Protein backbone atom coordinates (compact mmCIF):
# COMPACT_ATOMS: atom_id res chain seq x y z
CA UNK A 1 0.00 0.00 0.00
CA UNK A 2 2.79 2.45 0.92
CA UNK A 3 4.70 1.57 -2.28
CA UNK A 4 1.60 2.11 -4.44
CA UNK A 5 1.07 5.53 -2.86
CA UNK A 6 4.65 6.54 -3.69
CA UNK A 7 4.21 5.32 -7.26
CA UNK A 8 0.93 7.27 -7.63
CA UNK A 9 2.48 10.36 -6.11
CA UNK A 10 5.46 10.12 -8.43
CA UNK A 11 3.25 9.63 -11.47
CA UNK A 12 1.16 12.67 -10.51
CA UNK A 13 4.30 14.77 -10.10
CA UNK A 14 5.56 13.72 -13.54
CA UNK A 15 2.23 14.50 -15.19
CA UNK A 16 2.02 17.86 -13.43
CA UNK A 17 5.59 18.72 -14.43
CA UNK A 18 4.92 17.73 -18.03
CA UNK A 19 1.79 19.91 -18.13
CA UNK A 20 3.70 22.90 -16.80
CA UNK A 21 6.71 22.36 -19.05
CA UNK A 22 4.73 21.95 -22.28
CA UNK A 23 4.15 24.92 -24.56
CA UNK A 24 0.77 26.58 -24.04
CA UNK A 25 -1.21 28.39 -26.73
CA UNK A 26 -4.68 29.03 -25.35
CA UNK A 27 -7.61 31.39 -25.82
CA UNK A 28 -10.43 32.51 -23.53
CA UNK A 29 -13.44 34.62 -24.43
CA UNK A 30 -15.66 36.56 -22.06
CA UNK A 31 -18.81 38.63 -22.16
CA UNK A 32 -19.24 41.60 -19.83
CA UNK A 33 -22.72 42.61 -18.69
CA UNK A 34 -24.05 45.47 -16.59
CA UNK A 35 -27.46 44.92 -15.08
CA UNK A 36 -27.94 41.95 -17.42
CA UNK A 37 -27.17 43.98 -20.58
CA UNK A 38 -24.15 43.07 -22.71
CA UNK A 39 -21.67 45.96 -22.75
CA UNK A 40 -18.41 44.34 -23.91
CA UNK A 41 -16.74 41.30 -25.42
CA UNK A 42 -13.25 40.33 -24.29
CA UNK A 43 -10.78 38.00 -26.03
CA UNK A 44 -7.63 36.82 -24.22
CA UNK A 45 -4.74 34.83 -25.73
CA UNK A 46 -2.22 33.10 -23.46
CA UNK A 47 1.09 31.65 -24.64
CA UNK A 48 3.77 30.03 -22.51
CA UNK A 49 7.06 28.64 -23.82
CA UNK A 50 7.81 26.96 -20.49
CA UNK A 51 9.77 29.86 -19.02
CA UNK A 52 8.08 32.91 -20.47
CA UNK A 53 4.43 33.86 -20.87
CA UNK A 54 2.50 36.41 -22.89
CA UNK A 55 -1.08 37.62 -22.41
CA UNK A 56 -2.91 39.56 -25.10
CA UNK A 57 -6.35 41.03 -24.41
CA UNK A 58 -8.68 42.70 -26.90
CA UNK A 59 -11.94 44.25 -25.72
CA UNK A 60 -14.76 45.82 -27.71
CA UNK A 61 -17.07 47.95 -25.59
CA UNK A 62 -20.53 48.52 -26.99
CA UNK A 63 -21.36 51.17 -24.40
CA UNK A 64 -24.48 51.81 -22.37
CA UNK A 65 -25.73 55.36 -22.56
CA UNK A 66 -23.98 57.69 -20.13
CA UNK A 67 -22.81 54.80 -17.94
CA UNK A 68 -20.29 53.13 -20.27
CA UNK A 69 -18.56 54.72 -23.26
CA UNK A 70 -18.18 52.69 -26.45
CA UNK A 71 -14.64 52.00 -27.64
CA UNK A 72 -11.83 49.46 -27.69
CA UNK A 73 -9.05 48.37 -25.37
CA UNK A 74 -5.86 46.43 -26.09
CA UNK A 75 -3.66 45.06 -23.32
CA UNK A 76 -0.47 43.01 -23.49
CA UNK A 77 1.48 41.62 -20.57
CA UNK A 78 4.56 39.41 -20.57
CA UNK A 79 7.20 38.06 -18.26
CA UNK A 80 8.51 34.96 -16.54
CA UNK A 81 6.02 32.15 -16.04
CA UNK A 82 6.95 31.36 -12.47
CA UNK A 83 4.74 29.31 -10.14
CA UNK A 84 2.23 30.18 -8.83
CA UNK A 85 2.27 33.92 -9.52
CA UNK A 86 3.46 35.17 -12.89
CA UNK A 87 6.36 37.64 -12.75
CA UNK A 88 5.61 40.75 -14.80
CA UNK A 89 8.23 42.31 -17.06
CA UNK A 90 6.13 44.41 -19.44
CA UNK A 91 2.59 45.82 -19.47
CA UNK A 92 1.07 47.90 -22.27
CA UNK A 93 -2.43 49.35 -22.49
CA UNK A 94 -4.19 51.31 -25.21
CA UNK A 95 -7.80 52.50 -25.06
CA UNK A 96 -9.78 54.32 -27.73
CA UNK A 97 -13.06 56.05 -26.86
CA UNK A 98 -14.84 59.22 -27.95
CA UNK A 99 -12.08 59.93 -30.47
CA UNK A 100 -9.38 59.93 -27.78
CA UNK A 101 -6.44 57.57 -27.37
CA UNK A 102 -4.91 56.75 -23.98
CA UNK A 103 -1.78 54.62 -23.58
CA UNK A 104 0.19 53.20 -20.66
CA UNK A 105 3.57 51.42 -20.80
CA UNK A 106 5.11 49.87 -17.70
CA UNK A 107 8.38 47.93 -17.43
CA UNK A 108 9.21 45.74 -14.43
CA UNK A 109 12.52 44.26 -13.26
CA UNK A 110 12.76 41.86 -10.36
CA UNK A 111 9.21 42.63 -9.14
CA UNK A 112 9.95 46.37 -9.17
CA UNK A 113 8.84 49.03 -11.65
CA UNK A 114 11.84 50.14 -13.71
CA UNK A 115 10.01 52.66 -15.93
CA UNK A 116 6.52 53.78 -16.83
CA UNK A 117 4.87 56.24 -19.20
CA UNK A 118 1.30 57.52 -19.47
CA UNK A 119 0.09 59.43 -22.55
CA UNK A 120 -1.53 61.87 -22.27
CA UNK A 121 0.02 62.35 -18.82
CA UNK A 122 -2.29 62.71 -15.85
CA UNK A 123 -2.33 66.08 -14.16
CA UNK A 124 -1.53 65.77 -10.47
CA UNK A 125 -3.61 67.90 -8.15
CA UNK A 126 -4.51 67.98 -4.48
CA UNK A 127 -7.17 65.29 -5.00
CA UNK A 128 -4.73 62.70 -6.32
CA UNK A 129 -2.80 60.58 -3.84
CA UNK A 130 0.89 60.84 -4.87
CA UNK A 131 2.73 57.72 -6.00
CA UNK A 132 5.84 57.25 -3.88
CA UNK A 133 8.97 55.36 -4.90
CA UNK A 134 8.30 52.72 -2.23
CA UNK A 135 4.96 51.97 -3.92
CA UNK A 136 6.80 50.72 -7.02
CA UNK A 137 8.50 47.77 -5.31
CA UNK A 138 7.25 44.17 -5.17
CA UNK A 139 4.43 44.75 -7.66
CA UNK A 140 3.08 43.29 -10.90
CA UNK A 141 0.62 44.17 -13.61
CA UNK A 142 -3.15 43.90 -13.29
CA UNK A 143 -3.68 41.36 -16.10
CA UNK A 144 -1.05 38.82 -15.01
CA UNK A 145 -2.14 39.13 -11.37
CA UNK A 146 -5.34 37.16 -11.97
CA UNK A 147 -3.79 34.25 -13.89
CA UNK A 148 -2.37 31.40 -11.81
CA UNK A 149 0.11 28.75 -12.94
CA UNK A 150 0.56 25.42 -11.19
CA UNK A 151 -0.99 23.96 -8.09
CA UNK A 152 -4.49 22.53 -7.92
CA UNK A 153 -8.09 23.69 -8.04
CA UNK A 154 -8.39 24.26 -4.31
CA UNK A 155 -8.42 26.90 -1.57
CA UNK A 156 -4.81 27.87 -2.23
CA UNK A 157 -5.95 29.75 -5.35
CA UNK A 158 -7.59 32.28 -3.03
CA UNK A 159 -4.78 32.60 -0.51
CA UNK A 160 -2.98 35.40 -2.29
CA UNK A 161 -2.29 39.10 -1.95
CA UNK A 162 -1.92 40.89 -5.27
CA UNK A 163 0.21 44.04 -5.30
CA UNK A 164 -0.63 45.87 -8.55
CA UNK A 165 0.73 48.93 -10.33
CA UNK A 166 -1.17 49.87 -13.50
CA UNK A 167 0.95 52.85 -14.51
CA UNK A 168 -1.77 55.07 -13.07
CA UNK A 169 -2.71 53.55 -9.73
CA UNK A 170 -1.11 51.38 -7.07
CA UNK A 171 -3.42 49.08 -5.11
CA UNK A 172 -3.61 45.74 -3.34
CA UNK A 173 -6.12 42.96 -3.84
CA UNK A 174 -6.41 40.64 -0.84
CA UNK A 175 -8.08 37.35 -1.73
CA UNK A 176 -9.83 34.92 0.61
CA UNK A 177 -11.46 31.54 0.03
CA UNK A 178 -15.25 31.63 -0.08
CA UNK A 179 -16.53 28.28 -1.36
CA UNK A 180 -16.14 25.31 -3.66
CA UNK A 181 -18.70 25.60 -6.44
CA UNK A 182 -19.86 24.05 -9.71
CA UNK A 183 -20.19 25.76 -13.09
CA UNK A 184 -23.22 24.15 -14.71
CA UNK A 185 -24.58 26.58 -17.31
CA UNK A 186 -24.32 25.16 -20.87
CA UNK A 187 -24.09 28.75 -22.15
CA UNK A 188 -20.63 29.23 -20.61
CA UNK A 189 -17.28 28.01 -21.86
CA UNK A 190 -16.70 25.58 -18.99
CA UNK A 191 -18.75 23.19 -16.91
CA UNK A 192 -17.23 21.63 -13.84
CA UNK A 193 -15.76 22.45 -10.42
CA UNK A 194 -14.69 26.02 -9.68
CA UNK A 195 -13.25 27.84 -6.67
CA UNK A 196 -14.90 31.03 -5.42
CA UNK A 197 -12.78 33.78 -3.85
CA UNK A 198 -13.67 37.05 -2.14
CA UNK A 199 -11.65 40.11 -3.17
CA UNK A 200 -10.82 43.06 -0.96
CA UNK A 201 -9.66 46.16 -2.87
CA UNK A 202 -7.18 48.38 -1.03
CA UNK A 203 -6.19 51.64 -2.79
CA UNK A 204 -2.63 52.80 -2.09
CA UNK A 205 -1.82 55.71 -4.41
CA UNK A 206 -2.47 57.26 -7.80
CA UNK A 207 -6.22 57.44 -7.25
CA UNK A 208 -8.26 60.57 -6.65
CA UNK A 209 -9.70 60.98 -3.17
CA UNK A 210 -12.82 62.43 -4.81
CA UNK A 211 -13.34 59.28 -6.94
CA UNK A 212 -16.69 57.68 -6.12
CA UNK A 213 -15.62 54.47 -7.87
CA UNK A 214 -12.47 54.13 -5.72
CA UNK A 215 -14.48 54.69 -2.54
CA UNK A 216 -17.14 52.25 -3.67
CA UNK A 217 -14.62 49.49 -4.47
CA UNK A 218 -12.77 50.02 -1.19
CA UNK A 219 -16.00 49.76 0.81
CA UNK A 220 -17.52 46.89 -1.19
CA UNK A 221 -17.89 43.51 0.48
CA UNK A 222 -19.09 41.79 -2.70
CA UNK A 223 -16.28 41.54 -5.22
CA UNK A 224 -16.12 37.89 -6.27
CA UNK A 225 -14.03 35.79 -8.63
CA UNK A 226 -14.48 32.15 -9.63
CA UNK A 227 -11.46 30.18 -10.90
CA UNK A 228 -11.52 27.31 -13.39
CA UNK A 229 -8.75 25.13 -14.85
CA UNK A 230 -7.58 26.02 -18.35
CA UNK A 231 -7.79 22.47 -19.66
CA UNK A 232 -4.66 20.46 -18.90
CA UNK A 233 -2.27 23.40 -19.29
CA UNK A 234 -1.54 23.76 -15.56
CA UNK A 235 -3.08 27.24 -15.62
CA UNK A 236 -6.12 28.53 -13.76
CA UNK A 237 -8.09 31.48 -15.12
CA UNK A 238 -11.14 33.49 -14.05
CA UNK A 239 -14.40 31.75 -14.92
CA UNK A 240 -16.51 34.62 -13.64
CA UNK A 241 -15.97 37.99 -11.97
CA UNK A 242 -18.85 39.75 -10.21
CA UNK A 243 -19.15 43.20 -8.70
CA UNK A 244 -22.35 44.75 -7.36
CA UNK A 245 -22.84 48.38 -8.38
CA UNK A 246 -25.54 50.98 -7.81
CA UNK A 247 -26.88 50.35 -11.34
CA UNK A 248 -26.81 46.55 -11.20
CA UNK A 249 -24.32 43.69 -11.19
CA UNK A 250 -21.20 44.13 -13.31
CA UNK A 251 -20.30 40.63 -14.45
CA UNK A 252 -17.66 39.05 -16.68
CA UNK A 253 -18.29 35.42 -17.65
CA UNK A 254 -16.21 32.92 -19.64
CA UNK A 255 -18.10 32.02 -22.84
CA UNK A 256 -15.49 29.90 -24.63
CA UNK A 257 -11.96 28.61 -24.16
CA UNK A 258 -9.46 26.68 -26.24
CA UNK A 259 -6.64 25.23 -24.12
pTM exceeds 0.85 for this model? yes
Query: In this structure, are residues 119 and 102 in contact, taking their beta carbons and an 8 Å threshold?
Result: yes
**How much is the pLDDT for 248?**
85
Q: Tell me, yes or no, whether 12 lies in a domain.
A: no
Instruction: Spell out the alpha helix ranges (H) of 90-185.
Output: none
Answer yes or no: is 16 within a domain: no
Write 36-44 long-range contacts (CB < 8 A, 24+).
36/248, 36/249, 37/64, 38/62, 39/63, 39/64, 39/68, 40/68, 42/252, 44/237
Residue 182 lies in a domain: yes
Residue 7 forms part of a structural domain: no
Mean pLDDT of the chain: 89
Mark the ranges of the chain whose per-residue pLDDT is less than 70: 1-22, 63-68
Evaluate whether residue 6 is within a structural domain.
Answer: no
Domain span at residue 48?
25-258
Looking at residue 103, what is its pLDDT?
98
DSSP code per residue over 203-250: EEESSBTT-HHHHHHHH-S-EEEEEEE-TTSSEEEEEEEEEEETTEEE
- Look at residue 202 and tell me if it is in a domain: yes
Residue 89 lies in a domain: yes
How confident is the model at residue 67, as a pLDDT? 56
Asked if residue 11 is part of any domain, the answer here is no
- What is the number of domains present in the chain? 1
Amino acid sequence: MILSRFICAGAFALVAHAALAADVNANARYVVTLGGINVANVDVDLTDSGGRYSLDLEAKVAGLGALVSSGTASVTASGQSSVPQLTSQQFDLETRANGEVFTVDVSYAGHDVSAFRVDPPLVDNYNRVPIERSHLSNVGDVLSAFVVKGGALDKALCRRKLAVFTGVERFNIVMAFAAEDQATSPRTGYQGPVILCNLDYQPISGHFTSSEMTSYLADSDRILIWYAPLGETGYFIPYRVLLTTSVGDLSMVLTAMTP
